[in-house]
Amino acid sequence: MSTTKRSQIAALALGLALVAGACSSDKKAAPSTTPSTTPSTAAAPTTTPAPAGGEVIYAQEEGGVAFNNATSTNNSFANTEVLNLLQPGPFYIDDKLDFVMWKDLMDSVEVTSTSPQTIVYKINPKAVWSDGVAIDCKDFYLAYMAQNGKVSVANPDFTGPGATDADGNALPETLPVFDAAGTTGYDQMKSVTCSDDNKTVTAVYDTPFADWKGTFGGLVPAHVIEAKTGVADITKVDAVTDSPEIEKIGEFWNTGFDGWDPAIALSGAWYKIDSYTVDKSIVLVKNDKFWGTAANLDTVTLQVITDASAQAAALENGEIQAMQPQADPGVAATLAAASGVTFSPASGLVYEHYDMNAKNPIFADKAVRTAFAACVDRQDIIDKLVAPINPDAKPLNSVIFMPQQTGYEDRFSKYGTFDVAASKKILKGAGWVLGGDGFYAKDGQQLTFKISHKGIQRRSDTAQNTIASCKEAGFNIVEDSDTKFNSQRLPIGDYDVALFAWVGNPLLSAATSVYSVDGGANFQGYVNQEATDMYKVANGELDEAKRLDEMKKVDAAILDDVWTIPLFQLPEMPAWSAKLTGPSFNGPAGLTWNANVWTVS
């Protein structure tokens, strides 16, 4: 029996789920060895455990907005913190970053063939949603249908070749039926079939997919969509062909799970939704239909407290019991000195970075991108904002690997070493002319753009540091702070340069949808077909050593284009009341990953 929570592997396809105060989607990285499939349990407490029952209030900087975390619009780390305790999936990521089969849900998961690659999932006959309806093959089939990326419809706004939107961007002739954040893995599946009264799922791949354990995470109830759309049996609808039925399914899947309606956002795990107040709180209570080992706490409340300092004060005062805020030196000092508080800073899989938007013509000139990278003083930013929390922090020089992972190498310092003279030389060589106002210009266009971010203090400090350092190199940069940036503007590419963080997991394929052409999480519009093709080769390589080499090539190709400037690995700051037993840091899923085993005294 499994006593730990499976970390939410919401849509491997997304690649990355953005950290709450950072962005709106997710981050990734991957181990160099095959993840263990041996079930693990929460570490045994060193003291007598507290009795079951009670309530814990967990503080979020930003509230979750949707039960379906697999859409490009809604995918966020804030959702993940809630969904950890609600959504079923065959595997979870533990705090050692291993993939573990969730034995409460699965009787078995077996690779029955490698040619073609075939995975057979046998679901626990007792597994049911919180309304009593079986969790079964229909839910897996829906995940495949929604995320294979193969069904599209005519774009009603497309009037012919050369058609553009109001901003002058080219309009696609077709639009996907499903607003999936990514399709990685699912797009390689040939079929998903059901048997044994829908309790056995067989997934067959057209081409091998190494990270298959990341698929089918974060399942949503197919029977809810059937009821809302009038589709009698979702498995009878062709998952790769347009039809009136699949369009109705797509319409509901895209937006029908927005919010946290308990009648729609059904639970397949320890807790269920009791109440939801927009931008304030989500209250979870025990799921009386859960068939496995019951959770300890009676109630888990996720309360929105946007200011990290206020969270720290609330924790010390006993108003909340757990938190995992954005990295902040002042808050870290407060937590370290607080009485009755366990503060456990860690290096996770989150990285802060700048993304340049391909829609802005100023960045079409690679000289501008490389000159910008050279005038960003990454070390000074780290010294002032990160070193007080992690004295060993250094500039990050990869976007696929984190420093603690095999495969990490310096692939960016040749662009990202602060050098004002080099930055100016690059611009001058590309025909930019320094004006009397101290800023470069070319063909009547001044070298000016905005850095946009969510509005937390660390990001503002980062932006201001860059504005000052790049001004020396002739850049006229303006800060753009917007509390709704992550949730509203980032997903639609409404920015010049975005400052945010990706939150990842141990899958090497995780960032595929971020850096692939037309990827669901490719908000910046980055285009490198060669890198996309290299990703496909790497994702289909089942030999670990060969795959690692292929991923290194992908990493180098992306960084050599200089559309992204990795800044630093973001320190994680989980903290909890000393009265709480059970929390352990989990980078991909957040602190709530195993809240089902927490106890409070």
**What is the overall mean pLDDT for the chain?**
90
Q: Give the Cβ contact number of residue 154 at 10 Å.
A: 10
Q: Which of 399, 403, 413 is nearest to 348 (CA)?
A: 403
Q: What local confidence, expressed as pLDDT, does residue 50 receive?
A: 58
Summarize pLDDT for 239-287 with one digit per residue, the tens. Answer: 999 999 999 999 999 999 999 999 999 999 999 999 999 999 999 999 9
Q: What local confidence, expressed as pLDDT, does residue 258 receive?
A: 97
Taking CA 254 as the corner, what is the angle to CA 248 and CA 257, rounded to the nearest 5 degrees? 105
> Looking at residues 112-138, what average pLDDT do you find?
98
- Residue indicated by tokens 């996907």: 176
Q: How confident is the model at residue 12 (pLDDT cuts 50, 70, 90)?
A: very low
Summarize pLDDT for 540-593 with one digit per residue, the tens. Answer: 999 999 999 999 999 999 999 999 999 999 999 999 999 999 999 998 899 999
Q: Give the Cβ contact number of residue 110 at 10 Å.
A: 10
Q: What local confidence, expressed as pLDDT, does residue 40 receive?
A: 25
Q: How confident is the model at residue 23 (pLDDT cuts 50, 70, 90)?
A: very low
Residue 9 has pLDDT above 50, yes or no: no
Q: How confident is the model at residue 36 (pLDDT cuts 50, 70, 90)?
A: very low
582: left (phi over 0), alpha (psi -120 to 50) or beta: left
Residue 25 has pLDDT above 50, yes or no: no
Domains of the chain as residue ranges with CATH: 348-572 (3.10.105.10)
Q: How confident is the model at residue 28 (pLDDT cuts 50, 70, 90)?
A: very low
Q: What local confidence, expressed as pLDDT, does residue 167 receive?
A: 74
Query: For the whole model, what pTM was predicted?
Result: 0.82
d(CA 197, CA 200): 8
Summarize pLDDT for 296-341 with one digit per residue, the tens. Answer: 999 999 999 999 999 999 999 999 999 999 889 999 999 999 999 9
Higher-confidence residue of 269 and 21: namely 269
Q: What local confidence, expressed as pLDDT, does residue 18 receive?
A: 42
Q: What local confidence, expressed as pLDDT, does residue 194 receive?
A: 99
Q: What local confidence, expressed as pLDDT, does residue 541 receive?
A: 93
Q: Which of 184, 192, 190, 191 is nearest to 210 (CA)?
A: 184
Summarize pLDDT for 340-354 with one digit per residue, the tens. Answer: 999 999 888 889 999
Kindly give, in sequence order, each residue whose CB lies less than 8 Å from that of residue 577, ignoring residues fewer than 6 positions away: 315, 318, 321, 322, 340, 341, 342, 600
Residue 1 has pLDDT above 70, yes or no: no
- Classified as helix, coil or strand, 223 is helix
Q: Rg for the chain (alpha carbons), in Å?
A: 24
Query: Please, are residues 575 and 323 in contact by the beta-carbon 8 Å criterion?
Result: yes
Relative to beta strand 440-442, strand 99-101 is unpaired
Residue percentage of the chain with pLDDT more than 90:
80
Q: What is the DSSP letter of 170?
A: B
> Looking at residues 198-217, what average pLDDT do you find?
97
Q: What local confidence, expressed as pLDDT, does residue 3 receive?
A: 34
Q: What local confidence, expressed as pLDDT, does residue 170 receive?
A: 80
> Looking at residues 489-499, what average pLDDT do you find?
95
Query: Please, are residues 384 and 462 in contact by the beta-carbon 8 Å criterion?
Result: no
